[in-house]
Amino acid sequence: MAILLSLGRFTLGRAVGVGFAKINGISLIRRTMHLQQNQAFVNGKWVGARSGETFEITNPANEQVIGTVPDMDVDDVNEAIGSAYDAFYDKGWHNSTAKERAALLKKWFHLLEINRQEIARIMTAESGKPIAESLGEISYGNSFVEWFAEEARRIYGEIVPTPQANRQMMLVKQPVGVAGLITPWNFPHAMITRKASAAIAAGCTVVIKPAEDTPLTALALTKLAEEAGFPKGVFNVITSSRKNAASIGELLCKSEKVAAISFTGSTEVGRLLYKQCSDGIKRIGLELGGNAPFIVFSSADLDKAVTGAMNSKFRNCGQTCISANRFLIQDEIHDEFIARLTEKIKALKIGDGSHDGVQIGPLINHSQVNKVTEFVEDAKQKGAHVVYGGHQLSQHGALFFEPTIITHLRDDMRLYKEEIFGPVVSVIRFKTEEEALQIANASQRGLAGYFYSNDLNQVFRVSKLLETGMIGINEGLISSAEAAFGGIKESGIGREGSKYGIDEYVYIKYLCYGSLE
């Protein structure tokens, strides 16, 4: 049954069509909107940079300009921080109830669901992601908003049994205040909702800085947050080009009005932000780069392992932080696994992500193309075997790279040691479980790992010994709002999603009621 969704007193502007969504089994119809914005959002208003500067966003599939947004600097960001601070303290957001926050997040979630097609169009245009993957990311990203809308009402404290009869001891959780959120281009929607909905559920206000390459998706989400009715100053988004990213990051880390930083991106930038937060002993959550091992033991179901390898490696053209980065394949099944995987790789459909059936789009920018090309050339020169691919695909566009499989990796090759962030399968052959674990753990990164085995004892042993924050066991796609996402070692601190995602944005206050009679 289709019903018209009623979202209380809010009204939609600039409706363009009819959107359908099924939410919790209920079909909804609602007018959809044009969501592409060309201004940032501060204190409930759409604004340009004070300097008047803008920068262009291009489609990586054809390098055509698809929009412009304000190139904001520290003056603009100071204003956004001030508005988030005032909204939290002076305008009373810190006194909002969990029920009110949950209701706003639910409204936002419904609007995000209904406008999936328009958000996906924008995301594919600015990130190059195939449209089916954009829709997949939207489901994933929206699920955080729904999840944290639900979690908002379960941020429980504790009453602690006291050692003295005349005392009562309570632990309550309070929002930290303003949260500065810095996000990357590879998941332009989900990295924002995973942070912002947890922060808002906890009772914080937010200042979001999306990546230079993908601000349009961020602004589309913001348009819907505005429609959902968050009070002025609770939700702020500032856009900037790469030249201003470092000074904005430093301001967010050092401003006394910002209580917490949450960053997703490279380990190099994460390390810098961590240092910048140290002066003010500022709380920081870091979701950083990975170097995921993908181990296939000889007892594995090879069909499942090949499917898992394709899912883990080629999603978003290999540009995900949990993409399999080093394939470790046991000696006895090595050749068979490579043969089956190569057949699947050859069948991938490459092209502009907005076209039907495309599975591999372009890389995000020239610097990514140069990096992937350099890694492959380095491996070739040092004696690796290219089984398939290994070149740029200029017939599709300047940013396309061929899905590639390379064997005979050695530990002096960059492909072996560093995060590739591209459509390249690099394979290491191993003989024993101990050897596989030694290779897998010989990395300072520890975000995700994967292994395939049908030996129950081995499954338990390897799960315990693999040094990563997340493990896919006979599974290549592991992300979910219900799961705790995060790494160990240099892959980060803190967890996002799950019930633990809220902890990044609350502190525990201990209340001791004494002298009770």
- Annotated catalytic residues are 287, 321
> Which of 33-41, 285-293, 334-342, 471-479 is the region at the interface with ligand NAP (rule: CB under 6 A)?
285-293
* Distance, CA of 450 to CA of 422 (rounded, Å): 18
Write down the least CB distance from residue 429 to ligand NAP, Å.
Answer: 26
Query: Applying CB under 6 A, which of residues 60, 141, 285, 289 lies at the interface with ligand NAP?
Result: 289
When asked if residue 183 is in the footprint of ligand NAP (CB under 6 A), the reply is yes
Rounded to 10 degrees, the C-alpha dihedral 75/78/79/82 comes to: -160
Q: Write out the binding residues for ligand NAP, residues 222-281 only, by CB under 6 A.
A: 242, 245-246, 249, 264-266, 269, 272-273
Token representation of residue 355: 């076209």
Do residues 476 and 324 touch, judged by C-beta distance below 8 A?
yes
Site string for ligand NAP, 321-340 (x = CB under 6 A): x-------------------
Count the residues in the chain: 517
Of the residues 212, 227, 433, 504, which one makes contact with ligand NAP according to CB under 6 A = 212
Separation between Cα atoms, residue 397 and residue 400, nearest integer Å: 6
Q: Give dist(CA 493, CA 249) in Å, integer.
A: 18
Size, binding site for ligand NAP by CB under 6 A? 27
Applying CB under 6 A, the span of 178-186, 350-358, 401-409, 453-461 interacting with ligand NAP comes to 178-186
CA–CA distance, 147 with 227 (Å, rounded to integer): 20
Strands, DSSP E only, in 24-101? 26-33, 40-42, 45-47, 54-59, 64-70
Query: Which CB sits closer to ligand NAP, 144 or 187?
Result: 187
Q: Choose among 344, 217, 199, 407: nearest CA to 285.
A: 199
**β-sheet bridge partners, residue 234:** none
Question: Which residues 413-472 are close enough to bind ligand NAP by CB under 6 A?
Answer: 419, 447
490 touches ligand NAP (CB under 6 A): no
Shortest distance, position 134 Cβ to ligand NAP, whole Å? 16
Q: Which two tokens stand for residue 406?
A: 């390379």
290: contact with ligand NAP by CB under 6 A: yes
Write out the two tokens for 457. Answer: 């004892």
Backbone angles phi, psi at 140, to 5 degrees: -65, -50
Rg (CA), the chain: 24
Q: Is there binding between residue 71 and ligand NAP (CB under 6 A)?
A: no
Query: Three-class SS of residue 199?
Result: helix
Please identify, using beta-carbon distances, which residue of 228 and 269 lies nearer to ligand NAP: 269
Applying CB under 6 A, which part among 1-9, 34-42, 282-290, 503-511 lies near ligand NAP?
A: 282-290
Residue keyed to tokens 């949990």: 322
Stretch that binds ligand NAP, among 18-26, 286-294, 333-341, 387-395 (CB under 6 A): 286-294
Q: Is 186 in the site for ligand NAP (CB under 6 A)?
A: yes
Query: Given the rule CB under 6 A, which residues bind ligand NAP?
Result: 182-187, 209, 211-212, 242, 245-246, 249, 264-266, 269, 272-273, 287-290, 321, 419, 447, 492
